[in-house]
Amino acid sequence: MSEETPSPVRTTVDGPILDVVLDRPKANAIDAATSRELGRVFAGFRDDPSLRVAVFTGAGERFFSAGWDLTAAADGEAFEADYGEGGFGGFCELPGRNKPVVCAVNGMAVGGGFEIAMAAEFVVAVEHATFFLPETGLGIIPDAGAIRLPRQLPAVVANEVLYGGRRLDAAEAERWGLVNRVVPADELSAAARDLAGRIAAAAPLAVEAVMAIDRATGHRSLNEAFGHLRSGHLEAYERMLASEDALEGPRAFTEQRDPYWQGC
């Protein structure tokens, strides 16, 4: 009788926090099947009202993720394979995701692994982490990286990473604003969970509204952004304003107690 192959994606739930661990030795590379499994996990996270924030990390200490599984590619898996509902990595293009993800980068974030970190709302990294996009040296391009990185870095830095595969160490990534904080390896889990816990303690509809505003106005001028905000067309913002939680927050403050968020 053959042994069952362990799942490459491990999850645990701690109250409102979902922990997701990518565990594919040796480099946590992602093939299409693993990406689809991540998509199922993050779709469940999106749809579960009891969950408010996810922490995503890689197993081991060397690789967060080596990105696209080149062994699978060499075996015939197409660059444009079906990576699932959420796109490559499970959450990067997940429709309707209105809850934040914290990436705990435990080592090298290479190619698609770097793109996954770029798609997260928050990133905590170990001191030995590195970030790079080797795709042009492989005859392809980093699709998501080519879109996201120029929006997150100065043009000349983004170009060097995209065109020439420049590696950024953790300190540089923090300096350029790609990483919230850098910590020793033995503090990574605690730092990521501390950040996730603070997000989870906030009013869920308010967090959702902030995400919706960012996505709807980030490409607009300030005048256009404020106009859109006041237009009544941002459902998450209007839902937050009309919620019981919007009344509960001031009440809790005046009564000097912790708020009780209902998400409605």
The residues assigned a catalytic role are 115, 135
- Which tokens hold the place of 174? 């923090």
Strands of 181-183's sheet in order across: 9-14, 17-22, 53-58, 101-105, 122-126, 181-183
The type of residue at 115 is E
- Which tokens hold the place of 71? 């062994």
Query: Is the preceding peptide bond at 99 cis, omega within 30 degrees of 0?
Result: no
- Which tokens hold the place of 2? 């053959």
- Which tokens hold the place of 128? 């030995």
Measured over the CA atoms of residue 132, residue 133, residue 137 and residue 138, the dihedral's sign is positive
The type of residue at 50 is S
Number of C-alpha atoms within 13 angstroms, CB side, residue 70? 14
